[in-house]
């Protein structure tokens, strides 16, 4: 069964977030036709160091995100319910330890979900923060396909094994690009991947992957100037780190014009 990488149990999300000292939003609705379990942290990863990926964001509904601008978090459409005013989401930033006394928190004031999202592609969204975060670096997005291959970095606070618990400390890992043709082969996803707007990454042997709770988080790599650039958004996968079941990510470059236009309209 294809699983979105977000926690769908309100009780689990509430208990987990309560332990972090933030307020949980009710878990979002699972997309049509899916009985998914929300994802945990990175499988097969190691602990990230403080300040290593300063743009990483943890969202109270059990998702991840990246700081696109001081007041906008780029995440997955399946993490939010609709476009409109929303003051119920808490974003935690500036720390790898979600219990750190130095963590930064902001509430949301608006959500923008990709127009036309219906659970099949178009899996991106913005969460606008109630006030800007000016002390952290933001993560630029890829605007061409030039960086949509190679080796990528993934990070998050999701489960570190399929069916596992959400993590207190941010984990990171690297995963290789998997071509559309390979990812859509009969041994992998048999045509389920939308080649134009999704990108696959992972090992044929499995063992390293994003998981429930990592939904909406960034997949990123270095650009030609050795700066970090976001190429993907954690979207879905069959289980976590299973052989021949790589992670599937929203291909940011495909949506870059729409993302930038939406950011402008939201006052980024």
Quick check: 9 pLDDT over 70? no
Considering the domain boundaries, does residue 49 fall inside one?
Answer: no
Can you tell me the distance from the alpha carbon of 232 to that of 248, in angstroms, rounded to the nearest whole number?
9
Share of the chain above pLDDT 90, in %: 83
Residues 162 and 89 grouped into a single domain: no
Which has the higher per-residue pLDDT, 112 or 30? 112
Report if residue 153 sits inside a domain: yes
* Domain finish residue from 129, 154, 188: 129
Percent of the chain residues topping a pLDDT of 70: 86
Cα separation of 126 and 96, whole Å?
22
Q: Does residue 138 fall inside a structural domain? A: no
Q: Is the pTM of this model over 0.95?
A: no
The whole domain housing 183 covers 145-254
Task: Examine the pLDDT at 37 and tell me if it is beyond 60.
Answer: no
Considering the candidates 41, 69, 108, 123, report the single residue annotated as catalytic.
Answer: 123
pLDDT of 139 > 70? The answer is yes
Indicate whether 121 and 161 sit together in one domain.
Answer: no
Task: Judge if 34 and 120 occupy the same domain.
Answer: yes
pLDDT tens, residue by residue, 43-75 = 999 999 999 999 999 999 999 999 999 999 999
Q: Which residues does 258 contact at the CB level (< 8 Å), separation at least 6?
A: 114
In a domain, 134, yes or no: no
Domain membership flag for residue 136 = no
Task: Provide mean pLDDT across the span 139-156.
Answer: 98
| Rounded Cα gap, residues 36 and 9, in angstroms | 10
Q: How many residues does the chain have?
A: 268
Q: Do 19 and 117 belong together in one domain? A: yes
150 and 221 co-located in one domain: yes
Q: What is the pLDDT of residue 27?
A: 33
Q: Is 97 a catalytic residue?
A: no
Active site residue 123: yes
pLDDT at position 91, please?
A: 98
**Choice among 78, 108, 235, 253 that is catalytic:** 78
Give the model's confidence band at 3: pLDDT under 50 very low, under 70 low, under 90 confident, else very high. Answer: low
What is the distance between the alpha carbons of residues 51 and 71, in angstroms, rounded to a whole number?
Answer: 19
The question of whether 225 is a catalytic residue gets the answer no
Q: Cα 162 from chain centroid? A: 17
Dihedral sign (CA 235, 238, 240, 241):
negative
Q: How many folded domains does the chain comprise? A: 2
Check whether residue 170 and residue 200 sit in a common domain.
Answer: yes
* Residue pLDDT, tens place only, 200-230: 999 999 999 999 999 999 999 999 999 999 9
Which pLDDT does position 129 carry in this prediction?
98
Residues 199 and 98 in one domain: no
Residues 196 and 183: beta-carbon distance below 8 Å: no
Alpha carbon distance 245, 256 (integer Å): 26
CATH number of the domain encompassing residue 59 = 2.40.10.10
Is 115 part of any domain? yes
Please compute, for residue 66, the number of CA atoms within 13 A of its CA located in the half-sphere on the CB side. 24
Q: Calculate the average pLDDT of the chain.
A: 88
Predicted local distance difference test score (pLDDT) of residue 12: 37
Based on the fold, state whether residues 109 and 156 are members of the same structural domain: no
Q: Are residues 28 and 102 in the same domain?
A: yes
Q: What is the DSSP letter of 216?
A: T
**Residue ending a domain, choose from 101, 129, 157:** 129
Whether residue 137 lies inside any domain: the answer is no
| Annotated active-site residue in 41, 60, 215, 235 | 215
For residues 23 and 73, state if they share a domain: yes
Q: Of 99, 129, 159, which residue is a domain's last?
A: 129
Of 154 and 30, the structure prediction assigns the larger pLDDT to 154
Task: Dump pLDDT digits (tens) for 105-138.
Answer: 999 999 999 998 999 999 999 999 999 999 999 9
User: pLDDT tens digit string along 15-24?
Assistant: 333 333 332 2
**The pLDDT of residue 268:** 75
- Residue 43, domain member (yes or no): no
21 in the same domain as 94: yes
User: 235 and 170 in one domain?
Assistant: yes
How confident is the model over 65-101, as pLDDT tens digits? 999 999 999 999 999 999 999 999 999 999 999 999 9
């Amino acid at each position: 069964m294809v699983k979105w990488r977000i926690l769908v149990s309100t009780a689990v999300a509430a208990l987990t977030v309560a332990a972090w000292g933030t307020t949980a939003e009710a878990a979002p609705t699972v997309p049509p036709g899916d009985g998914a379990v929300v994802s945990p942290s990175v499988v097969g990863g190691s602990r990230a160091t403080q300040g290593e990926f300063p743009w990483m964001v943890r969202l109270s509904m059990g998702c991840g995100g990246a700081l696109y601008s001081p007041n906008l978090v780029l995440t997955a459409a399946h993490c939010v319910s609709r476009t409109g005013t929303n003051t119920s989401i808490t974003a935690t930033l500036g720390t790898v330890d979600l219990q750190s006394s130095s963590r930064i928190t902001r509430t949301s004031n608006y959500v923008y979900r990709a127009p036309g999202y219906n659970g099949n592609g178009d899996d991106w969204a913005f969460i606008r923060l109630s006030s800007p975060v000016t002390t952290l670096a933001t993560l630029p997005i890829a605007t061409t396909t030039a960086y949509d291959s190679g080796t990528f970095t993934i990070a998050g606070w999701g489960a570190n094994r399929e069916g596992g618990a959400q993590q207190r400390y941010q984990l990171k890992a690297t995963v290789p690009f998997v071509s559309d043709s390979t990812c859509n082969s009969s041994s992998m996803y048999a045509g389920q991947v939308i080649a134009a707007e999704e990108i696959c990454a992972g090992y044929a042997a499995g063992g390293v992957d994003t998981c429930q709770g990592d939904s909406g988080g960034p997949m990123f790599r270095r650009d030609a100037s050795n700066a970090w650039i976001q190429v993907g958004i954690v979207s879905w996968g069959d289980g976590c780190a299973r052989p021949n079941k790589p992670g599937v990510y929203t291909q940011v470059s495909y949506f870059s014009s729409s993302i930038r236009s939406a950011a402008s309209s939201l006052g980024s």
